[in-house]
Amino acid sequence: MKDRYDVVIVGGGIAGVSGALTCINRGKTVAVIANGVETSSLYKAEMIRNYPGVAAASGKELSEMLIRQLESSGADLIHGRALSVMPLGDGFGVAIGSEFTSCGAVIIAAGITREKLYPGEGEYLGRGVSYCATCDGMLYRGKTVAVVGAGEEAGHDADFLESIGCTVHRFEKNGKYEIRGGVKADTLVYAGEEYKIDGVFIIKDTVSVTKLVPGLDYADGAIVTDRQMRTNVPGVFAAGDCAGKPYQLAKAAGEGNIAALSACAYIDSRKKEK
């Protein structure tokens, strides 16, 4: 991973890959931050028959073709979960777990996003609630924590927290969780039971996009964009399912392409201004 890219794309589904290929064609440096391929909507599709040029392919096959194409394109594929996109000097800083890079423009291609947080999650984020054990685990060394999340990453994080001396309650089921506390979170409520904790690690594939990019306009289950895929935050673009219905491959690929062209134009105009 480089310190700086022209464009960082969050999400390695068809929208993100399409955006990356266009940025590369335009001579830009690109990083795609991507959860495992199996987390994309496409991967779950049994058979695709309406994508031009591909008579029939399973979602798994098409996902693997996309990732291979991305890997040989010149874009950097960074495995992991983007946790935050923050304005930084002339562009943005992007945190991926405990690592960090920066860029001139960002494309959010995170797939269908759900903004609904657990009660208390937003309120106690940074005050007992964390999305990353590698980043924040040491603050809870020897203490009692909960890890909420199924998946491989949640398992690794729980193991890591145990390895540094934490007592770990593992919660792998979907359900109604609530975080309570005073100044800091001190209780996790699940299935009517209260668990006294010092910290809660919530490990989901996606981070709420409005938490990922502070100030992003979000309405009716989608990031608000114009036809150039610009969001209300200058330099941040969105494409694919996260930018709204219809949830279809051709639409996601097309929007990835438009978002990339807009991101490249944005970077070029910023360079001319200097």
Write down the least CB distance from residue 237 to ligand FAD, Å: 13
Q: Which of 9, 66, 85, 110 binds ligand FAD (CB under 6 A)?
A: 110
Residue 12 binds to ligand FAD (criterion: CB under 6 A):
yes
Task: Identify which range of 8-16, 99-107, 124-132, 223-231 contacts ligand FAD by CB under 6 A.
Answer: 8-16
Q: Which of 21, 28, 81, 230 binds ligand FAD (CB under 6 A)?
A: 81
Select 100 or 190, whichever has its Cβ closest to ligand FAD: 100
Q: Which of 8, 30, 82, 267 binds ligand FAD (CB under 6 A)?
A: 82
d(CA 131, CA 158): 12
SS3 176: coil
Write down the least CB distance from residue 260 to ligand FAD, Å: 13
C-alpha dist (Å) from residue 153 to 24, 29, 184, 186, 249: 30, 28, 25, 24, 27
d(CA 146, CA 168): 6
SS3 192: coil
- First-to-last C-alpha distance (Å) of the chain: 26
The residue assigned the tokens 């909420």 is 148
Give 54's DSSP letter.
Answer: B
Q: Which of 178, 247, 265, 271 binds ligand FAD (CB under 6 A)?
A: 247
Taking phi first (over 0 means left), then psi (-120 to 50 degrees means alpha), and beta for anything else, what does residue 266 get?
alpha
x/- map, 23-62, ligand FAD, by CB under 6 A: ----------xxx---xxxx-xx--x-x------------
List the one residue out of 246, 267, 141 whose CA is nearest residue 198: 141
Q: Which of 8, 9, 15, 133 binds ligand FAD (CB under 6 A)?
A: 15
Buried b (16+ CB within 10 A) or exposed e, 186-204: bbbbbeeeeeebbbbbbbb
x/- map, 115-144, ligand FAD, by CB under 6 A: ------------------------------
Instruction: Find the length of the chain.
Output: 274
Binding-site ranges for ligand FAD (CB under 6 A): 10-16, 33-35, 39-42, 44-45, 48, 50, 81-82, 109-111, 205-207, 212, 240-241, 247-250, 252
